[in-house]
Structure formats: C-alpha cells, structure tokens
Amino acid sequence: MGNEKQIDTLRHSASHIMAAAVLELFPGTKVAIGPAIEDGFYYDFDRSEPFTIEDLSKIEEKMKDIIKENHPFICSSKSKYEAVEEFKEKGEKYKAEIAQGISEDKVTVYQSGDFTDLCRGPHISSTGELKYFKLLSVAGAYWRGDSSREQLQRIYGTAFFTKEELDAYLAKIEEAQKRDHRKLGKDLDLFSVNDAVGGGLILWHPKGAILRNTIENYWKQFQLDNGYELIISPHIASEELFRISGHLQTYSENMYASMDIEGKPYRVKPMNCPMHLMIYKTKLHSYRELPIRYAELGTVYRFEKSGVLHGLLRVRGFTQDDGHIIVAPERLEDEMLAVFKMAVNMLQTFGFNDYKIYLATRPENKYVGEIADWDKAQKSIENALKKTGYEYEVDEGGGAFYGPKIDIKIKDAIGRLWQCSTIQFDFNLPERFDISYIDSSGKKARPYMIHRALMGSLERFIGVLLEHYAGALPLWLSPIQVAIANINEEQYDYCKELLAKFKKAGIRAVFDDRNEKIGHKIRENAMQKIPYIAVVGNKEKEANAVAIRARGNKDLGAMSVDDFLKMCADKNAPGINEL
C-alpha cells in the first residue's frame, strides 16, 4: 500500500509503460499526455484506427513484457529547443507543442527502454516495479480539451501496489456497472434519451414520472415544514435580466442563444436566482420579515458538450431543488446552521448517512466584495459547521467568486462519493439587484443572500438514488409497490377486488393477469425490483388472504389482506428505507 504520492508515481509510470507498449504494437501512433488520475491513469493517443477491447488485451500483454525486461526510468535534462526539435523529427507534434509551451529554458525527459517522454516525473526506479495493473476502457478526448482541435483516443487503466487492492477495485467497478443508472433506467422503464428530442434532455416514462412525483411531493412538504415559501418562475426571461445578474457577461458560454420576441432578446434560463430576487423586489421588506426563504423546483437549461453528457448525471435540461434565503447579516450563522441541518435531514430520509463536508473559502484572485466581509462570512459559516458536530475539511480557495460555501458529498452503498447538497453565500447578487430591507433603526440596509440546493438537481439525484439502491428502491419510492399475480383465471375477480382495495389504501399496485405460469410471473416481477409480489391461488381467495414474496426472494407466507395493508402502511413513509 503506499501513500497518495507513491500511488500517483506508480500510476504515472504505468501510463509511460502503456505508451511504450502502444508504440511497439501500433507504429505510427502519436502520443499526447499520460497523467495519473484519481483511481488510475490514462494516456491520449492519435491513431487513425480505433482501439478495440481486443487491442487492450494485446497492450496489457506487451506491458507485461516491458515489465519483465525491467527497464530503468532514466531522467535527463536538455534545452527546450533541443527537445522541441527532437520531438518534431520523431513526428511527435503533441510533445513538441507541450515542450514549446514550457517557460523554462531547460526541460526534463524520462527514458525507459526505447521510449522517451517529456516529463517532470517522478517515476518508479524501473518498469519491473509495476506488478498489479489493468487496462479498463477507451474513450474519445480532444487535444487540450478543445473541441476545435484533434480528437484523440484515451486509454484508461489503473494500478495498485498489491493484488488485493487491484482485485477489490475491479470488483467495485463490476458492481458499479451493475448499478449503472442508465441500464437500470432502461431495464425498469423509467426514462430515456432520444436523438430526435436532443441529447441531455430526459424523457420521463410513466414509472419514472411516478418516482419523480413522489420525490417532488416529499420535497415540497419538507420546504413548507422548514419555513420556506414555494414560488414558480418562467423558463425564459428577457436577456436584460441576465445582464443585471452578470450571467450574460460571465456565463454566456453555458447559455443557449437568444431568441427574438417582438424585437426583444430572450434567453432560456440557466439559473433561477435572478427571478427569485425580482419576486423579493416587488415590495418593501422589514427586518421583522427576515429571513425570507423561497424554494422552487425550477427547471434550467445549460449547454454541455455532447461528449460529457451522461444519463441523468450530466444533462442539458434539469430541475434544481433551488432555494434562496434573504437574511440579515447578524442572522447568517443561525441560518447557515439551519440549512445544513435541513440538508442532512433530507439526505438521511433518502438513506444517505455518510458524508464528506467541505468549507470552500475565498479564491485567491477572482472574487467580489471586500476581504473583511469575506472573513466575516467565512467565520460565521465555520462557526455554524462547528456547531453541527460533523467533521469537515477546508477547501482553500474553492469558493465561488461571489462567496464562500459548504459542499456536502454523500457516500453511496459501494463507497463512492457524490456531490449533492451545496449551501452558498453570495456577496454579488444583492449588490447587482440592489436589494434592501428596513432595519430596526428605520434605515435601508443590504441583506445577505444564501443559495442552497439540497439534492442538486432532481435528475442527478435520481441517478444517484438508482445506483445507491441498485434499482431496488425503498417502498415509499418504488413506482410499483405491489404486483398481484394470480395462479389461474379462477382468482381473476378476487385479484381485481384486491387491486381496487390496494389503490384505495394508497398502495401503488398492478395486477399481472397474463396467461403465464405463476413462476414466470414471479420471476419477471422480481426482475422489475418490485418490493412485494402478492401471489393469489384458490386457498388465498377463500381465506381473503395473499401469499407475500418480498424483494430478495423472501417468502413471507400467507397473511390476511388487512394485515398486509397494515404492514405496507407502516413501511410506506419517507425515511423508512428497509422492507
């Protein structure tokens, strides 16, 4: 096992060994960059033919040969001019471009066997030190991340110091693939994306809409219970609104083109906050009214390149669980604490109990407001975090340009971290929109503003939920909670009566009346991850009962209909996440 620096050195060295193997197997391939990354490494290649899964196996075998040869990693220094010319002679235009952009007169290169790479290092002492590695996948990547430049092929891999660590990581990847929300969304018939509609725009199918509606209903009541007022804002607005907010000047590359409406430019909204502030400004407010808390499930639209779109996790149209709080400066600490507790409460309701919490502070250069005000706001937020009892880390310089923030990352069932709740202080918009309140002395004063999203977005949060539960959602979230399955036609009328009774009791139930064997019905409904299957034969019909199979192939046996409904009622509530 090694520390973070040692594992990065191992993985960066693995990327060099992989590049050497690729050049041996596929002459004429050009190399670009090959860094260590979280959980692994990659290298970008320029090759006319696409790499295949079979190619990855060949590259792995060639890497093993290079490892057996135990070439030392030899570092040397040369002039930048010399390095540029050498790479140009070899046809390595990407390396030549990197070398040309280095500000120092001298550069370092590392050689292992016949492969020489422009690199600052460090590296392991020799190729033989790499023992436990695996190549994972191939993806496209633009040179320098610029879509107007060459498209390269990126090969991802991972490496560890022990076989046990590698095996555990590969098992985790395999489990993650089983939990992929895109596959679950298709298998469970929850949502889809269609090119005719457009990439990154989600079509919610009936069962997906039920899931989403269940979350929305819970969310709305949760806001009301915590002192928020629900508001609704339009999907488009005059371009002037986003000029006032500053989004047009600083965020235009993520906004969609303007549309002309009666000679005036409009935009689909990338943010809800400007409209929330316009609602605040419709009347004068007293300090007695503050804090004012607005909440909206507001759908926004942001441009994302097609290459980064990813199911529900990265989309172009999404619904934020948005909230904005207008608060007097002296109440900032109390309000930040209240919002934090609210976020944790909500996350726990959905079954997330493990977090990493960050206090993101003022960026070094790009920020608005005075340093003294930043320090005051950061101190208030830090005091609030200390009162929560949770451990947190300081993300130095990680705040937005307009204010410090709290980020909460949740850990899912297989240990992955997901960015979820964020609570952001804002110096900027209160000034740009010139909002005010009348303080206790009768004078106009500038309030503070807090942005908060507890889930982030409904789309992304549902994607995380599906992967956390591997599609086996708790009863209260399951689109279908009970499937009734009859053995033959003799129980048809009784099952129809059961269906009506279940629905009247608030249970989302379906009747599988297909002319199929009962074993087939049970298997297919189980594959849909439905919490309960109520099997009905003549015995159950005569006893006014049901034979219940719980998810996970658990046979709960026969019980009266009333007892089953009571059991469902006891478990069918937000926060009860076990069957």
CATH number of the domain to which 505 belongs: 3.40.50.800
Contacts of 227 (CB under 8 A, 6+ apart): 293
Indicate if 130 and 205 belong to the same structural domain: no
pLDDT digits (tens, 9 = 90+) for 500-559: 999 999 999 999 999 999 999 999 999 999 999 999 999 999 999 999 999 998 999 999
Query: 267 in a domain, yes or no?
Result: no
Indicate if 396 and 535 belong to the same structural domain: no
The residues assigned a catalytic role are 273, 302, 320, 322, 324, 405, 451
Indicate if 309 and 340 belong to the same structural domain: yes
Query: 557 in a domain, yes or no?
Result: yes
> Into how many domains does the chain fold?
3
> Using only C-alpha atoms, what is the Rg of the chain?
29
Paired tokens of 261: 């409406």
Helix, strand or coil for residue 544?
coil
- Residue pair 324/273 in contact (Cβ under 8 Å)? The answer is yes
pLDDT digits (tens, 9 = 90+) for 463-474: 999 999 999 999
Query: 241 in a domain, yes or no?
Result: no
Q: What is the mean pLDDT of residues 381-396?
A: 89
Beta-carbon-side half-sphere exposure of residue 140 (alpha carbons within 13 Å): 14
If you write DSSP's letter for every residue of 165-191 in order, what string do you get?
Answer: HHHHHHHHHHHHHHT-HHHHHHHTT-E
Helix, strand or coil for residue 238?
strand
What is the C-alpha separation between 334 and 79, in angstroms, rounded?
59
Which CATH number does the domain housing residue 374 bear? 3.30.930.10
Indicate if 120 and 166 belong to the same structural domain: yes
Indicate if 41 and 122 belong to the same structural domain: yes
What is the C-alpha separation between 198 and 16, in angstroms, rounded?
39
Query: 157 in a domain, yes or no?
Result: yes
Query: 380 in a domain, yes or no?
Result: yes
Query: 490 in a domain, yes or no?
Result: yes
Phi/psi at 530 (nearest 5 deg)? Answer: -75, 130
Query: 245 in a domain, yes or no?
Result: no
Indicate if 449 and 343 belong to the same structural domain: yes
Indicate if 24 and 79 belong to the same structural domain: yes
Domain boundary pick from 144, 178, 212: 178
Q: What is the mean pLDDT of residues 308-330?
A: 93
Q: For the packed helices 332-349 and 371-388, what is the interaxial angle rounded to 10 degrees?
A: 50
- Residue pair 518/485 in contact (Cβ under 8 Å)? The answer is yes
Estimate to the nearest angstrom the gap between the alpha carbon of 299 and the chain centroid. Answer: 17
Q: What is the mean pLDDT of residues 281-302?
A: 96
Instruction: Compute the C-alpha angle 47/10/2, nearest 5°.
Output: 155
Contacts of 15 (CB under 8 A, 6+ apart): 34, 35, 36, 41, 42, 43, 157
Q: What is the mean pLDDT of residues 87-105?
A: 89
> Nearest Cα to 544, choosing from 557, 567, 560, 566?
560
Positive/negative CA dihedral, 18, 24, 27, 30 = positive
What is the C-alpha separation between 14 and 67, in angstroms, rounded?
10
> Nearest Cα to 426, choosing from 445, 403, 447, 406?
403
Burial class of residue 355 (count of CB atoms within 10 Å of its CB; 0-12, 13-18, 19+): buried
If you write DSSP's letter for every residue of 25-75 in order, what string do you get?
Answer: HSTT-EE----EETTEEEEEEE-SSPP-HHHHHHHHHHHHHHHHHT-B-EE
Alpha-carbon distances, residue 483 vs 86, 213, 501 (angstroms): 70, 20, 13
pLDDT class of 104 with cuts at 50, 70, 90: confident
What is the C-alpha separation between 57 and 134, in angstroms, rounded?
9
pLDDT digits (tens, 9 = 90+) for 153-187: 999 999 999 999 999 999 999 998 899 999 999 99
- Residue pair 201/314 in contact (Cβ under 8 Å)? The answer is no
What is the C-alpha separation between 210 and 173, in angstroms, rounded?
30
Indicate if 223 and 326 belong to the same structural domain: yes
Which CATH number does the domain housing residue 109 bear? 3.30.980.10
Query: 52 in a domain, yes or no?
Result: yes
Q: What is the DSSP letter of 400?
A: B
What is the C-alpha separation between 82 and 38, in angstroms, rounded?
33
Whole-prediction pTM value?
Answer: 0.86
Phi/psi at 187 (nearest 5 deg)? Answer: -65, -35
Indicate if 369 and 504 belong to the same structural domain: no
Indicate if 76 and 124 belong to the same structural domain: yes
Q: Which residue has the tokens 């060459």?
A: 150
Rounded to a whole number, what is the largest CA-CA distance in the chain? 92
3-state secondary structure 415-452: CCEEEEEEEEEECHHHHHCCCCEECCCCCEECCEEEEE
Domain boundary pick from 178, 196, 213: 178
Domain boundary pick from 178, 200, 222: 178
Indicate if 425 and 488 belong to the same structural domain: no
If you write DSSP's letter for every residue of 111-132 in order, what string do you get?
Answer: EETTEEEE------SBGGG--E
pLDDT digits (tens, 9 = 90+) for 428-486: 899 999 999 999 999 999 999 999 999 989 999 999 999 999 999 999 999 999 999 99
Which residue segment(s) compose the domain that 325 sits in?
186-233+272-464
- Residue pair 457/319 in contact (Cβ under 8 Å)? The answer is yes
Q: What is the DSSP letter of 145?
A: G
367 pLDDT higher than 80: no
288 pLDDT higher than 90: yes
What is the C-alpha separation between 423 and 378, in angstroms, rounded?
12
Indicate if 222 and 331 belong to the same structural domain: yes
